[in-house]
Structure 1
Amino acid sequence: MSTPPLNIVVIGGSAAGPKAAAKARRMDEHANITIIQKEADLSMASCGYPYYVGGVFDDRNQLICTSAGIVRDPNFFNAAKRIEAKVLTEAVAIDRNTKTVTCKHVPTGELTTLAYDKLVIATGASALYPPIAGADLSGIYTLHSLGDADAIRAIRDQKQATRAVVVGGGLIGFEVCEALHLAGIHTTVIEKMPSILPFLDHDLALLVANHVRSFDADIITGNGVAAFLGDNGAITGVKLDNGTELPCQLAVVAVGVRPNIALAQAAGLDIGAAGGIAVNEFMQTSDPDIYAAGDCVECTSLITGEKVRAPYGDIANLQGRVIGQNLIAEGSAKFPGITHTGICKIFDYTVGFTGLSATRALALGLDIETVMIAGLDIPPYMQGKLLISKMIADRKSGRVLGFQCIGPGDASKRVATVAMALRGQLTVTDLVNADLPYAPPYSMALDHVITAAQALENKLLGRMQGISVAEVKQRVDHGADCFIIDTRTPAEFEELRLGIGEVLIPQGALRSRLHELPQDKSKEIIVYCRVSLRGYEVAAILQGHGWNNVKVMEGGIAAWPYSREK
């Protein structure tokens, strides 16, 4: 007697849901698979919305197409995958006793019921919308749906705005900022916290902020939006917490997302402490016949072991694939957790990160060592571009805990390398001798990641005393008794200098000018160059001649985010 086909119902048609359905179909040709999607579109490439808004491409269908150019609509799912996709259909209730889902056809309100053997919840998340006066004015959007992207793109195309405000200085906020800049709209990013891009440490975030401002975009930090201002029902400006008013005809709110858990909660499924649906490593909820994935769930940090939320499209797809396999072969696939890796393009900079920032690590009470370096991604004769990185490691074990990399160079490759190091729980010493691919078009002989690891190892072993640019600035501002040496060439010094009371002593002239240094060999000496490689070598020379309080300014002038003399 043949086994009846499995009835699989998937709630949510954006990323995790279709991935789970497609994987299940590949493993079982005969299962009955239905996707329920509240919106009109399916499998939307939401990470591409800012680039559509900015005019990088003009055909919105590219956001819902396969790589072969076929629109992923219900006809596609039915013909190519034998999956029934019900769009404009909202799941309104789950009955775990009868194993049914009640659905509402959005245009008509008609209710229907679907039976399931296995259920997938991929309800995603909703954009946070702070309760601000005037929030109901027209011209205020999030960029969370394809409808939002269409509306903002129309404003761009019809030139309906000359000034815009982006509320929120995270990844999406700056991607929107660049998109509006490409549209010729002057944009101001407003961030309530003291620093932008919360996954970056403040020193790197300052460098990104300087880069953004160089494109005539404004950034306001430490100040929130108190009210949206309007006339005749349309936005005309914003009022900040400090009373400042900024004119604008468009506002985009990008302050984060909230997991859509109401349906799961009403069904009695467990919700985790971080606010998402609780799932195990197989992506099962507290009901073993119900799975959940994507922005609505919690997952495990592979670094700290804590439960976190990771609302990223790549994670949703990974989790959906695990579910699709387990729907047919229960317990055969696991999703162990995340290292919290991300990347974005902000004007001419790539901004990437993986693992813990130093700020986060210290907040968790970890004993860490960090290093900041600057250098080229490939050799100068191959037109190499600058990268500035920060690596974080556990001081005792040397285990790498995090990495941040910014700049116009190829940061993606370096972040990906360290992300896998985190996954493998590698130490700084493991990375010091990493066998990474080398050829001048792709890398320096010692890749940027290896150089960062070597510098961090020098600090861990006490071979180098580092000092951050922020600490140097603080010493200068407070008149600290320290001797600062710029080790570059006279030509470099004439072209650009910091103006912090530094003395020019080029590396090649140092040994003949030791008499110019403080004769109290315990006095603090700070050395630097363009990226501080020469600074490190000068520090070694000075230590060899008895100076015992020599510190290298990490990252050199390239990492200095403050004003400079020209």
Structure 2
Amino acid sequence: MPSQPLKILVIGGSAAGPKAAAKARRMDEHASITLIQKEADLSMASCGYPYYIGGFFDDRNQLICTPAGIVRDPDFFEKAKRIEALVQTEALSIDRDAKTVTCRHLPSGETKTLPYDRLVIATGASPLYPPVPGSDLEGIRTLHSLGDADALRAVRDAGKVTKAVVVGGGLIGFEVCEALHLAGIQTTVIEKTASILPFLDPDLAKLVENHVRSKEADIITHNGVAAFLGENGKLSGVKLDNGTELPCELAVIAVGVRPNIELAREAGLTIGAKGGIAVNDQMQTSDPDIYAAGDCVECRSLITGEMLRAPFGDIANLQGRVIGRNLIEPGSASFPGIIHTGICKIFDFTVGFTGLSEAAARAAGFDIETATVSGLDIPGYMQGKLLISKMIADRKSGRVLGFQCIGPGDGSKRIATVAMAIRGNLTVDDLSNADLPYAPPYSLALDHVIVSAHVLENKLLGHMKGVSVTEVKQRVDSGSNCFILDTRSPQEFEEMRLGIGETLIPLGAIRGRLDELPADKDREIILYCKISLRGYEGAAILQAHGWTQVKVMEGGIMAWPYPREK
């Protein structure tokens, strides 16, 4: 045992801070470890807040429990981990020369100064608010703290609110939307940009939008909040940028977060260009004895190399673990960066993403190819469910750059598979021959990820020319002279069709009905079916018979986000 135990001080008790403290304790039984937490609760499972609000479970302590069901309160930290946890205590300042932190106990107002040998800043982030009139009205909430979750759960349980708006069409916004919908509250999501879920490309985002609307929740895009309206200090509605007024008794703001960097900035630590605390791969700040992690820091994209902020709980835990090791054995661990992976449940849809979207890849300067695929997650005879995916790759190297997956099927393992492929710099060819597990309860013989890679490989090799559903819609709306061919069966055609001037020739009949196709073999022909597998096979037939501008509508009817005929 050393004569002078290492003094470790951790500011922030949500995710990264407790993880760093716990890892350091496991590596050094004798270190003095103190955790400073401004809130009353510790180590909160914040991603579970919407499900608590929605009534998936009722005991809020489950959000602050260990897997064994023990509440992670100061007593737990003291007895189980020998970590002193000072809750309801705010860190006021850092004196880097004296290596001390001054803090204040909020209920009593008492201040004290704590020494450190090594310091961790895990101060998280604060929710952004639209800078509009009426923001101080009663009835306007965020969902950032456990206190926020408690307040929204109380609204649900009281059953008095009938109409709500959610400001912000990102992950949190739609999780809140579903939670309020489950409470019987008529909910409208307001998104300032043209498309919801900015990590998805518009074609897939539109399909999610359609799904949300099918659940009788509303979405308004291309419109921000101009003002909150109130009566007697209470929220009564919102006014949109276009002048529309929506009545509501509750508004939940979910437009993003701002990193809490004031403490670090006042201490003279370097702040990055993206507004977060600058750290190296060991999660050290510009002061080698001060580390930082979580929502308050910047980290590096492993795809583009640029610095960005990634306010995700899983990333905070990974970074906290790296810090915990380096607190005891400096330089022993590193956090190389992120590829930006996420997933959420939006009503009956899984919505997942990893890496770059098409828009982000193009903005980063990549020359890319994409493939959109529709299909089942497991065989139909096992009650398989639909997935619609989009894979993005670098055209020259074939390196996989991104993947989006939505639908009622199991998209989680598909996102995880491609996330590791991106992390390992794998190519489309690598995924085309991936040895993935197969059994009918879990997968098709060729998993959805492999099929996505096959379609993308066909495009990269020139075996298939694809066209997106949006491009097809644009051609139709502009009066293009393209010939649109539906290769499904007559029964399928009668049950539902797109109504875009298509001609029905079932795949099995194409070879005998070539005379019904355009005589001009340079005229653009677009084929599709339910998922466009038959469309692809039909395209191969037409190409073999001399048509030169044959294309497949990727994803087929299942990827079509526009109105259809029934």
TM-score, normalised to structure 1, is 1.00
Q: Which string of whole-angstrom CA distances, capped at 9 and with x for unpartnered residues, describes residues 368-390 of structure 1?
A: 11010000000000000000000
* Contact 2:6–2:117 (Cα < 8 Å) also in 1: yes
Partner in structure 1 of residue 508 of structure 2 = 508
Partner in structure 1 of residue 272 of structure 2 = 272
Partner in structure 1 of residue 88 of structure 2 = 88
Q: Determine whether 1:369 maps to 2:375.
A: no
Shift of 1:270: 0.5
Partner in structure 1 of residue 416 of structure 2 = 416
Matches of 1:373 and 1:55 in 2, distance apart? 34
Shift of 1:363: 1.4
* Contact 2:370–2:391 (Cα < 8 Å) also in 1: yes
Matches of 1:2 and 1:361 in 2, distance apart? 52
Q: Which string of whole-angstrom CA distances, capped at 9 and with x for unpartnered residues, describes residues 344-393 of structure 1?
A: 00000000000000011111221111010000000000000000000000
Shift of 1:107: 1.3
Matches of 1:440 and 1:490 in 2, distance apart? 30
Letter in 1 for 2:317: N
Shift of 1:95: 0.3
Matches of 2:458 and 2:272 in 1, distance apart? 41
Partner in structure 2 of residue 245 of structure 1 = 245
Structure 2, gaps ≥5 residues long: none
* Contact 2:130–2:225 (Cα < 8 Å) also in 1: no
Matches of 1:287 and 1:37 in 2, distance apart? 22
Secondary structure class of the residue paired with 1:350? strand
Shift of 1:118: 0.4
Partner in structure 2 of residue 319 of structure 1 = 319
Structure 1, gaps ≥5 residues long: none
Letter in 1 for 2:254: A
Shift of 1:47: 0.4
Partner in structure 2 of residue 389 of structure 1 = 389
Shift of 1:160: 2.1
Matches within 5 A, 1:339-350: 339-350=339-350
Q: Which string of whole-angstrom CA distances, capped at 9 and with x for unpartnered residues, describes residues 26-83 of structure 1?
A: 0000000000000000001000000011111001100001111100000000000000
Partner in structure 2 of residue 258 of structure 1 = 258
Question: How large is the RMSD of aligned CA atoms in angstroms?
Answer: 0.6
Letter in 1 for 2:126: S
Q: Determine whether 1:11 maps to 2:11.
A: yes
Shift of 1:237: 0.5
Shift of 1:108: 2.1
Partner in structure 2 of residue 214 of structure 1 = 214
* Contact 2:99–2:117 (Cα < 8 Å) also in 1: yes
Secondary structure class of the residue paired with 2:219? strand
Q: Determine whether 1:65 maps to 2:65.
A: yes
Secondary structure class of the residue paired with 1:270? coil
Shift of 1:547: 0.5
Shift of 1:332: 0.6
Partner in structure 1 of residue 296 of structure 2 = 296
Matches of 1:447 and 1:441 in 2, distance apart? 12
Q: Which string of whole-angstrom CA distances, capped at 9 and with x for unpartnered residues, describes residues 470-515 of structure 1?
A: 0000000111001100000011101010000000000000000000
Letter in 1 for 2:182: L
Secondary structure class of the residue paired with 2:20? helix
Matches of 2:246 and 2:359 in 1, distance apart? 32
Matches of 2:81 and 2:362 in 1, distance apart? 49
Letter in 2 for 1:302: L
* Contact 2:432–2:451 (Cα < 8 Å) also in 1: yes
Shift of 1:537: 0.4
Q: Determine whether 1:287 maps to 2:287.
A: yes
Shift of 1:243: 0.4
Matches of 2:273 and 2:225 in 1, distance apart? 29
Matches within 5 A, 1:149-548: 149-548=149-548
* Contact 2:398–2:427 (Cα < 8 Å) also in 1: yes
Secondary structure class of the residue paired with 1:196? coil
Q: Determine whether 1:36 maps to 2:19.
A: no
Secondary structure class of the residue paired with 2:464? coil
Q: Which string of whole-angstrom CA distances, capped at 9 and with x for unpartnered residues, describes residues 149-184 of structure 1?
A: 111111110012000000000000000000000000
Matches of 2:521 and 2:226 in 1, distance apart? 55
Secondary structure class of the residue paired with 1:67? coil
Matches of 1:521 and 1:295 in 2, distance apart? 57
Letter in 1 for 2:242: N
Secondary structure class of the residue paired with 2:345? strand
Partner in structure 2 of residue 565 of structure 1 = 565
Q: Determine whether 1:140 maps to 2:137.
A: no
Matches of 1:8 and 1:345 in 2, distance apart? 38
Matches of 1:364 and 1:221 in 2, distance apart? 26
Matches of 2:469 and 2:2 in 1, distance apart? 71
* Contact 2:536–2:552 (Cα < 8 Å) also in 1: yes
Letter in 2 for 1:325: R
Shift of 1:3: 3.5
Secondary structure class of the residue paired with 2:269? coil
Matches of 1:414 and 1:548 in 2, distance apart? 35
Shift of 1:2: 3.8
Secondary structure class of the residue paired with 1:337? coil
Letter in 2 for 1:163: K
Shift of 1:23: 0.2
TM-score, normalised to structure 2, is 1.00
Secondary structure class of the residue paired with 1:381? helix
- Structure 1 runs (4+) deviating above 4 angstroms are none
Matches of 2:55 and 2:357 in 1, distance apart? 33
Letter in 2 for 1:500: I
Matches of 2:171 and 2:477 in 1, distance apart? 32
Letter in 2 for 1:474: Q
- Equivalenced residues, count: 566
Letter in 1 for 2:259: P
